[in-house]
Amino acid sequence: MGPWALCEKASGHFIGFCGVGPELVGDVEEINLGYRLARRFWHQGYATEAVNGVLQYAFDQKHCESVIVIIESEHTASVRVTEKVGFGDYTLRAFHARPVRVYRMTFDDWALHYKLL
């Protein structure tokens, strides 16, 4: 659990991170997925590839019951990646005094989406 370094295969350069880890949301500890890429690597499929790999690890290896993603609505690229990999519905919440979307994927949601790929 925790962030994994993402490196571009062709160059070996560090391009960002992706991973899951515990996050206190309200008074409940959740498993939160986080990712960030250097801007020059946006819109190339790296985030989607990394998120799919991390979800597979979280559900297959760590046996997580569910994974959440916390995103500020204006981060449209992150919203697209999140929804592309199978996160659907979200709730609106305040997180660190900021309005965010909190998406949740259960193991069953993931297994269904993974089989459709």
- The confidence score (pLDDT) of residue 32 equals 96
CATH H superfamily, domain 2-116: Gcn5-related N-acetyltransferase (GNAT) (3.40.630.30)
Q: Whole-model pTM?
A: 0.88
One-letter identity of residue 90: Y
**What angle in degrees, to the nearest 10, is found between the helix axes of 76-84 and 46-56?**
50
pLDDT along the chain (117 residues), means of 10: 89 94 91 94 93 94 94 91 92 92 94 71
CB within 8 Å of 72: residues ≥ 6 apart: 98, 99, 100, 101
